[in-house]
């Protein structure tokens, strides 16, 4: 068993986790970062170009906040948005001072609004080394650890490159930066985004928020990975599996009759998903893309058929609930950053399609790392700790995790399940997913790699249940939450929905203001 000691333990090596580790180290904390894969080389950011919500101070920033607030169904918070934009702008300048060069800068294109994911993460990893952060690759976390008062005090997991031996960590505070949940749908880099952090937080008593806003899909060419997210008009290097969605912002979309779909990029994408959900075919006119990019991607084809790829909470909104500007969760000692944390304060009822996701990773990472370091410093010595009991960790497994994953995907991946929703379809999903939970909780497990797969299956099931219960509770259509039986937005639903629970899932409404941690009466879906 490997024993690790730190002031701040960061779980996750994507951008949010790295920014959290750097911020904690800047506060003088001893920081250890553990990653399921290799920090700097795994996750969605490492697989393509990332857009960034980076706007200088002035009228343009004020207008961006206004538009984001309205586009998000008025569930966001302008103060959070301004804070994120300001923090992102500062940290982008810091990146430039570190030597990062933005693609396309100086070529007449918008400056510093997109990042080459692999180069970005490579620069961040080098900064970790300089800052003295201890980085442990291929160390997936499985459980949180708490002290006798329930304060989060570390974590435990396995070393996937060392015979899956156990590691344990004792820390004064923990930052969750494990990413969202894409339900193993096949999106580029999302194989590590299985909802592990959301499950760990809930098992420690944490709450979630915005889980109904989980129906985020990307568009990708059918049977083809050539469509690159390359805003810099270049082809990714060998081994890169870029997310295709960005390039499609520049393409005209058509249905099978040849009719143009939508108007602006958001309208066009929404119309495309609606058409695919209805069983119609959708095409992108890639030959219309400007210059070399269009020629490379279209290969002479006038139109390329598209498919929808579920991205869940990775590009959706929901996640672990945060209760203050230091990104603390509702559990003492636990902080959230990036996709694992709810993005409602800045995106409201929509996802991070306009670069908000990249900005949120930076800002929430910095704030969570700073908050965790200060919490650990004020806490002092950590006493006796224990691991939080978790689902899917039975050494004597009795069921195959593939059966659980298959059921979850049946109720999440299809557009008819997550893009269009109704009370009937949601209740059907809830009944089947709930019936699987007791079996999963105690029948999943094993040793070695089976233990990791079982834990991931349990997390996928837990996240699916929270999304379905939350979607059933919100009886309206708002943002990316679309109810066929409630097609319009309702004024009395301008509130957030908090969720939690494992054996019995609960949902209750709360106010939109940041830090409003006293929700109203419980709301139980009929």
Contact 186, 47 (CB under 8 A): no
Q: Which H or E element spans position 28?
A: none
pLDDT at position 248, please?
67
pLDDT at position 302, please?
67
Q: Torsion angle, CA of 135/141/143/149, rounded to 10 degrees?
A: 20
Structure tokens at 444: 């999943």
pLDDT at position 114, please?
86
CA–CA gap between residue 70 and residue 415 (Å, rounded): 25
CA distances in angstroms from 381 to 312, 377, 487, listed in the order given: 39, 9, 54
Instruction: Give pLDDT tens digits for 224-254.
Output: 444 433 333 333 332 333 344 555 666 789 9
How would you classify the pairing of strands 385-387 and 141-147?
antiparallel
What is the average per-residue pLDDT within 413-430?
Answer: 96
How is domain 401-486+495-502 classified at the architecture level of CATH? Up-down Bundle (1.20)
The number of angstroms, rounded, from the C-alpha of 192 to the middle of its chain's C-alpha atoms is 11
Of the two residues 297 and 225, the one the predictor is more confident about is 297
Please count the other Cβ atoms lying within 10 Å of the Cβ belonging to residue 326: 17
The number of angstroms, rounded, from the C-alpha of 315 to the middle of its chain's C-alpha atoms is 6
Contact 500, 234 (CB under 8 A): no
Contact 348, 76 (CB under 8 A): yes
Instruction: Give pLDDT tens digits for 160-193.
Output: 999 999 999 999 999 999 999 999 999 889 999 9
CA–CA gap between residue 277 and residue 419 (Å, rounded): 7
How would you classify the pairing of strands 334-336 and 165-176?
parallel
CA–CA gap between residue 110 and residue 114 (Å, rounded): 9
Instruction: Give pLDDT tens digits for 315-325.
Output: 999 999 999 99
What is the average per-residue pLDDT within 347-361?
Answer: 89
Contact 17, 181 (CB under 8 A): no
Name the residue among 185, 204, 203, 181 with its Cα closest to residue 194. 181
pLDDT at position 452, please?
96
3-state secondary structure 310-370: EEHHHHCCCEECCCCCCCECCCCCEEECHHHECCHHHHCCCCCCCCHHHHHHHHHHHHHHH
Site of tokens 């959301």: 198
Please count the other Cβ atoms lying within 10 Å of the Cβ belonging to residue 361: 29
pLDDT at position 225, please?
43
What is the average per-residue pLDDT within 268-285?
Answer: 89
Look at 139-153, 163-177, 345-359 and tell me which has the smallest mean pLDDT. 345-359
Q: What is the CA radius of gyration of the chain?
A: 22
Q: What is the DSSP letter of 72?
A: T
Determine the number of helices (DSSP H) and then strands (DSSP E) in the chain.
Answer: 14, 18
Instruction: Give pLDDT tens digits for 179-188.
Output: 999 999 998 8
pLDDT at position 358, please?
94
The number of C-alpha atoms within 13 Å of 252 and in the hemisphere containing its C-beta is 11
Of the two residues 363 and 219, the one the predictor is more confident about is 363
Phi first, then psi: give them for residue 216, nearest 5 degrees.
-85, 125
Fold of 4-214+313-387: FAD/NAD(P)-binding domain (3.50.50)
Instruction: Give pLDDT tens digits for 359-414.
Output: 999 999 999 999 999 999 999 899 999 999 999 999 988 899 999 999 999 999 99
Instruction: Give pLDDT tens digits for 17-55.
Output: 999 999 999 999 999 999 999 999 999 999 888 889 999
pLDDT at position 520, please?
32
Residue ranges per structural domain of the chain: 4-214+313-387, 218-310, 401-486+495-502
Does residue 109 carry a pLDDT above 70?
Answer: no
Average pLDDT taken over every residue of the chain: 88
CA distances in angstroms from 277 to 58, 416, 423, listed in the order given: 41, 6, 17
Contact 215, 419 (CB under 8 A): yes
Of the two residues 519 and 325, the one the predictor is more confident about is 325
Contact 153, 333 (CB under 8 A): yes
pLDDT at position 228, please?
37
CA–CA gap between residue 45 and residue 121 (Å, rounded): 8
Instruction: Tell me the Ramachandran region of residue 379: left when phi exceeds 0, alpha when psi lies from -120 to 50, beta otherwise.
Output: alpha
Please count the other Cβ atoms lying within 10 Å of the Cβ belonging to residue 459: 25
The number of angstroms, rounded, from the C-alpha of 60 to the middle of its chain's C-alpha atoms is 27
Instruction: Give pLDDT tens digits for 450-480.
Output: 999 999 999 999 999 999 999 999 999 999 9
Is residue 101 very low, low, confident or very high in pLDDT (cuts 50, 70, 90)? confident
């Amino acid at each position: 068993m490997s024993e690790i000691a730190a002031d701040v333990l960061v779980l996750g090596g994507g951008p949010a986790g790295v920014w959290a580790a750097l911020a904690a180290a800047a506060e003088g904390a001893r920081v250890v970062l553990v990653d399921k894969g290799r920090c700097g080389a795994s996750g969605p950011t490492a697989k393509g170009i990332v857009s960034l919500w980076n706007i200088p101070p002035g009228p343009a920033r004020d207008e961006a906040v206004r538009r984001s607030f309205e586009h998000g169904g008025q569930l966001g918070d302008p103060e959070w948005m301004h804070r994120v934009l300001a923090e992102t702008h500062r940290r982008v300048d810091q990146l430039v001072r570190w030597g990062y060069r933005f693609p396309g800068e100086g070529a007449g294109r918008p400056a510093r609004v997109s990042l080459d994911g692999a180069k970005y993460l490579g620069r961040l990893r080098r900064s970790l080394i300089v800052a003295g952060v201890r980085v442990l690759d291929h160390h997936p976390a499985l459980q949180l650890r708490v002290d006798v008062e329930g304060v989060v005090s570390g974590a435990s997991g396995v070393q996937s490159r060392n015979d899956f031996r156990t590691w344990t960590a004792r820390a004064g505070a923990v930052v969750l930066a494990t990413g969202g949940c894409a339900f193993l749908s096949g999106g580029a880099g999302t194989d590590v985004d299985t909802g592990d952090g959301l499950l760990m937080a809930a098992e420690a008593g944490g709450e979630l928020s915005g889980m109904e806003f989980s129906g985020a899909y990307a568009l990708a060419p059918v049977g083809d990975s050539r469509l690159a997210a390359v805003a810099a008009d270049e082809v990714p290097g060998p081994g890169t599996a870029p997310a295709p969605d960005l390039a499609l912002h520049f393409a005209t979309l058509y249905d099978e009759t040849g009719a143009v779909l939508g108007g602006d990029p958001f309208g066009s994408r929404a119309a495309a998903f609606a058409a695919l959900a209805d069983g119609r075919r959708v095409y992108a006119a890639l030959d219309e893309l400007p210059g070399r990019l269009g020629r490379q991607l279209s290969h002479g084809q006038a139109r390329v058929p598209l498919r929808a790829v579920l991205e869940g909470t990775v590009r959706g909104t929901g996640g672990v609930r945060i209760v203050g500007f230091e990104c603390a969760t509702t559990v003492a000692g636990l902080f959230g950053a990036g996709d694992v944390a709810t993005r409602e304060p800045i995106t409201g009822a929509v996802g991070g399609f306009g670069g908000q996701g990249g900005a949120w990773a930076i800002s929430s990472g910095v704030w969570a790392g700073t908050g965790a370091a200060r919490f650990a410093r004020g806490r002092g010595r950590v006493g006796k700790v224990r691991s939080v009991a978790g689902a899917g960790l039975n050494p004597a497994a009795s069921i195959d995790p593939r059966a659980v994953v298959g059921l979850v995907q049946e109720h999440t991946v299809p557009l008819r399940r997550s893009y269009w929703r109704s009370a009937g379809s949601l209740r059907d999903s809830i009944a089947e997913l709930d019936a699987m939970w007791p079996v999963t909780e105690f029948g999943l497990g094993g040793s070695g790699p089976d233990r990791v797969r079982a834990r991931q299956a349990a997390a996928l099931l837990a996240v699916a249940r929270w999304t379905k219960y939350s979607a059933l509770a919100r009886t309206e259509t708002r943002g990316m939450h679309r109810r066929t039986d409630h097609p319009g937005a309702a004024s009395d639903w301008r509130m957030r929905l908090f969720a939690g629970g494992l054996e019995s899932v609960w949902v209750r409404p709360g106010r939109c203001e940041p830090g409003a941690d006293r929700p109203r009466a419980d709301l139980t879906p009929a």
